[in-house]
Structure 1
C-alpha cells in the first residue's frame, strides 16, 4: 500500500524523525474502528426506525379499524338512506365526520363516543367511510 503526503508535511515528518509506518498503521486502525462503530450504529438505528415505523403502521391500522366499526354501526342504526348514500358514494376526500351529512353522524358520535368535538385521524375517517360504504353496497339494491 502506498500513501501520498504533501511535500511540506513530508519534510516536517522527516525533520522530526517520526515513525511513519507506525503512525500510519495506528491512524488506519482507528479509522477502521470508527467506521465499524458507525456501521454498527447505523444498523442499530435502522432496527429502531423499522420498529418505530411498525408501531405507526399498527396505530394507523387501529384507527382505520375503529373508524370502520363505527361507520358500520352508524350505517346500520343511525343513518338515513340519503346520508348513507352521500357518505358511501362520496369521493372520500369530502367526507369529514358530520360535514354535509346531516345531524345523524354528530348525534351518533355524541351518543356512542361522547366526544363529537374530538379530532379524529384521517385513517379513522377513512375507516368510517369504508364501513358505511360496505353497508351501502350490501343494501342499495334492496331499498
Structure 2
C-alpha cells in the first residue's frame, strides 16, 4: 500500500535472492540474504499519470526499459531486506506523486544588490592595482 487510495499488488514485484557484498565472512559467502527487487512500471496497475511521473524520475535504479531495480542488503535476514526494498519503492513512488510546488520568482533585495556591487568594485580595484602604470 502506497497511499490510502493507491497500492501495488505483490505479484507486480519480482524478488530475487542474491548474495550480499562486503564484509561478513562465511555467512556472506554462503547465504543469499540480499534481495533484488524489480518493478516494471509500464506493466504495473498504477494510473497512467503516475506511470509517466515515475518514468520521468532521474534515478540510476530506473532502467531504460522502465524497470525499477532496488537492491537491499542492509540486514542479515532475507525477509527484512525484502521489506526494506518495498519501503524504498514506496518512498520513490510517494516522492513522484507529491505535487510540485510552483516556483515563485523573487527579486534580489536592495542590500544583496549593494553587497554584490561592492564586491565587484573591490575586485575591480584589486585587478586595476595589478596593471602596469602608464608612463
TM over 0.5: no
Q: TM-score, normalised by structure 1?
A: 0.22
The structure with more radius of gyration: 1
Q: Which has the bigger relative contact order, CA under 8 A and spacing at least 6?
A: 1
Task: Name whichever structure is richer in strand by fraction.
Answer: 2
Which structure has greater helix proportion?
Answer: 1
Q: TM-score, normalised by structure 2?
A: 0.23
